[in-house]
Amino acid sequence: MSNRKQSASSKAPSAKARGRSRSAERTDGAKRDSMQVIASGQGEFLAPDPDGFRRFIRDNKVRNEVDKRMSAQEAVQRFVQDGNYITLDGNMGYRGPNLLLREVIRQRKRDLWVAAGPGTNEIPLLVAAGCVSRVDVGWMDPSPVIQYAMREGRLKVVEWSNGGLSYRHLAGAMGVPFLPVRFLGGSGAFEHSGAKLIKDPFTGENLVLVPAINPDVALIHVHQSDRFGNCRVFGPGFAPAEKAGSAKRVIISTEEIIEPAEIRRLPGLTTIPHYIVDAVVHAPFGAYPGGMPGMYHGDGEHMGDLAAAQRSRRDSGLLEKFLEKWIYSVASDEEMLEKHVERETLSEMRTSNISEAFGV
Amino acid sequence: MIDDTITFTDTEALAVQGARLMESGRSYFIAAGGPPALAVILGKRLYAPDLIYSYGDGAIDPQPDYPPRRTTTPYTRSAAFGSMNNPRFQATAGYMDYAALEAIQVDQFGNFNTSMIGTDYERPRRRFGGAGGANEMASCCWRTILVLRLEERRLVPQVDFITSPGFLDGSPRARERAGLPADTGPYRVITDQAIFGFEEKSHRMELLAVGSWTSAEAVIGKMEFEPLVAKDLKVLEQPTLVELWSLRTEIDPGGRALAGFSQDFQVARGGWISPDTSATGSLAL
């Protein structure tokens, strides 16, 4: 795995050298045109490879509309591999791809590197289940699971910020190797990330660059999708378009499957177009136990149990019991909801529907 | 005899002192939940109705209900919903006047920590959540307001980890040299017992106001460094009944903002309220 990572200081192709050769091609030759690297963060990151990403897209993504509906089990089996970098939109509390994450845990994927920006309880849950060995933060719920895993060297954390990560996805989705940002500079989050400080050739001022990220897989829960993956996200927040656009493989789980004609009727509402998407999983209550804007509240009891398990002493066995009950002992989310969640709870969670909440 | 003692919690004091500093016609960039959000929304309700605020995850200028309705479409009546990149673009372009943020530790130059306690980054004594959106907010908003409880080990000469920048080493143009926008930086540090600013030239923290119920000596006694002290030290009045009533019944009924997960963890004013792991959580493991 080490060949696909780089520590900014050692293995990175020298941006300084690249800058020099690039400025040599210029005709104006002005001195401030050279893009000098002043400082580099020491955190680990995947080396940006925009041409590699383009080739992957050329060779692997289906352009025309094809039916991509499949089960969560099949989607995760096909598109999530051990050692992958995965990115999530939303989190355990709010429009997170929680059904898909349970499937990742159920299939006991290993050595994943995950972008947590902004994450919550799903990060310690993935760590507790042994799926994740690296986290880019962002933000995560730093429950005792995280404390133990870091102390024992089972978890590596790379410091960014929510914005650092969302700009990195934006760069990845734009097909460029980096983006300038006007934050991170001067902080420990700079030193422990893979950002670089350069002299901006246009203004002559110092400027921070963040490397693009092209995750192996994006897991995104949406309100509506047609069978081809044209999908709609309503309500505020996160970065579904950037995360999907930057990833090699995109698994969508959706509350509702809608007709393609409906997508074509109101194309301005499409968050992600079909050719970016690899799998469409029909997943009512797919954000359970979190809430879904306009549709349902979170299940406070489940969230409370999870939080308690994550904060419990390690020898209490509560986390293992939690994983066994909600994930390992059932074959799917359908079975989980059937067995463990009262129908009343689900109907109490329901608040409104998409047309009522969002006028479509 | 009628007992006219007013009782309030640290969090309420933080929210009230913050609320009194809010300015109409200004924009605030905030994280969901916690004392800074309470301060901004209470300030909008009582003192600065024309302030606008936006959340780090992409909701622009919501209009809260008083009290908050239980809803799954948080951020009621927002002007716009966008990607989380949108408010960051706007902060970078200069639209966001104030960041209002929590901190675990703040140093004398206003650098602050929400990442870790300890000396070894790989094996911290205590790991915290991370920057969230604080780094970009504290970098790109014109002014940063920090909110934390005044207690030992919070206000320190050097933070264990600079998650988000203040004036860095305090030298002139240190922020610009680090790549941050010009003319930005920390503005106030609000605690439950005192308020600090930053001296213009040295960028060092300066005690500006002290609670009427305590003293400058007592405040400084809880700090790990000597702050500058303003010549005209102001007095902070304790929260009034009106402020506490508004906070308890209109802004945060039931204290849910800090109560951890409950059935109502998504409330009208915003997003999810995360479990009890907010940045100002206990320093003890």
User: Tens of pLDDT along A251-307?
Assistant: 999 999 999 999 999 999 999 999 999 999 999 999 999 989 889 988 888 888 888
Window 243-282 of B: residues touching A by CB (8 A cutoff) are 260-266, 271-272, 274-275, 277
Q: With CB atoms and an 8 Å threshold, state whether A197 touches B260.
A: no
The CA distance from B147 to B257, in Å, is 15
The CA distance from A81 to A76, in Å, is 8
Which CA distances in Å does B139 have to A148, A158, A165, B29, B142?
32, 20, 15, 12, 8
- Does residue A5 carry a pLDDT above 80? no
Q: How many beta carbons lie within 10 A of that of residue B32, not counting itself?
A: 27
> Smallest Cα–Cα separation from B7: which of B191, B238, B215, B195?
B238
Enter the ipTM. 0.90
Given a contact cutoff of 8 angstroms between Cβ atoms, the answer to whether B42 and B12 are in contact is no
Which of A143, A162, A304 faces B56 most closely, judged by CB atoms? A162
Window 189-248 of B: residues touching A by CB (8 A cutoff) are none
- pLDDT tens, residue by residue, A236-258: 779 999 999 999 999 999 999 99
* A240 cis-preceded (ω within 30 degrees of 0): no
Looking at the complex, report in whole angstroms how far the Cα of residue B96 sits from the nearest Cα belonging to chain A.
14
Mutation site for A-interface testing, chosen from B57, B92, B256 by largest number of A Cβ within 10 Å: B57
Identify all chain A residues contacting B166, using CB atoms and an 8 Å cutoff.
none
The residue-averaged pLDDT of B176-185 equals 98
Q: Is B102 on the interface with A (CB under 8 A)?
A: no
**How is residue B142 written in tokens?**
């014109």
Q: With CB atoms and an 8 Å threshold, state whether A242 touches B274.
A: no
Which CA distances in Å does B223 have to A14, B145, B159, B190, B211?
44, 18, 13, 14, 15
Which region among A35-39, B31-35, B106-110 has the lowest average model confidence (pLDDT)? B31-35
* A4 vs A304, more confident: A304
Q: With CB atoms and an 8 Å threshold, state whether B115 touches A189.
A: yes
Which of B81, B128, B272 faces A235 most closely, judged by CB atoms? B81
Given a contact cutoff of 8 angstroms between Cβ atoms, the answer to whether A94 and A121 are in contact is no
Window 26-85 of A: residues touching B by CB (8 A cutoff) are none
The CA distance from A323 to A161, in Å, is 29
Q: Give Cβ neighbours of residue B215 (< 8 Å, ≥ 6 apart).
A: none
- Does residue A98 carry a pLDDT above 60? yes
Give the helix ranges, DSSP H, for chain A.
15-24, 50-60, 72-79, 98-106, 122-128, 144-151, 162-174, 188-191, 240-246, 260-265, 300-311, 318-323, 333-340, 343-349, 354-358
Let me know if B23 is exposed, middle or buried by CB neighbors in 10 A (0-12, 13-18, 19+). Answer: middle
Looking at the complex, report in whole angstroms how far the Cα of residue B265 sits from the nearest Cα belonging to chain A.
7
Which of B130, B176, B271 faces A138 most closely, judged by CB atoms? B130
Which of A157, A182, A303 faces B139 most closely, judged by CB atoms? A182
Cα–Cα–Cα angle for A32, A33, A38, rounded to 5 degrees: 70
Identify all chain A residues contacting B84, using CB atoms and an 8 Å cutoff.
162-163, 166, 237-239
Report how many Cβ contacts below 8 Å link chain A to chain B: 227
Share of residues in chain A with pLDDT > 70 (%): 91
- Read off φ and ψ for residue A163, nearest 5 degrees: -70, -40
The CA distance from A308 to A325, in Å, is 15
Identify all chain A residues contacting B78, using CB atoms and an 8 Å cutoff.
236
Q: With CB atoms and an 8 Å threshold, state whether B275 touches A239.
A: no
- Does residue B228 carry a pLDDT above 80? yes
Q: How many helices (H) and strands (E) does chain B have?
A: 7, 15
**Strand A217-225 to strand A85-88: parallel, antiparallel, or no bridges (unpaired)?**
parallel
Q: With CB atoms and an 8 Å threshold, state whether A307 touches B55.
A: no
- Does residue B175 carry a pLDDT above 80? yes
**How is residue A99 written in tokens?**
């059904």
Which of the residue ranges A224-233, B31-40, B65-74, B253-262 has the most confident prediction, judged by mean pLDDT?
Answer: A224-233
Identify all chain B residues contacting A118, using CB atoms and an 8 Å cutoff.
56-57, 132-133
Which region among A60-64, A77-81, A269-273, A349-353 has the lowest average model confidence (pLDDT)? A349-353
Q: Give Cβ neighbours of residue B186 (< 8 Å, ≥ 6 apart).
A: B109, B110, B138, B143, B144, B146, B166, B167, B198
- Does residue A32 carry a pLDDT above 70? no
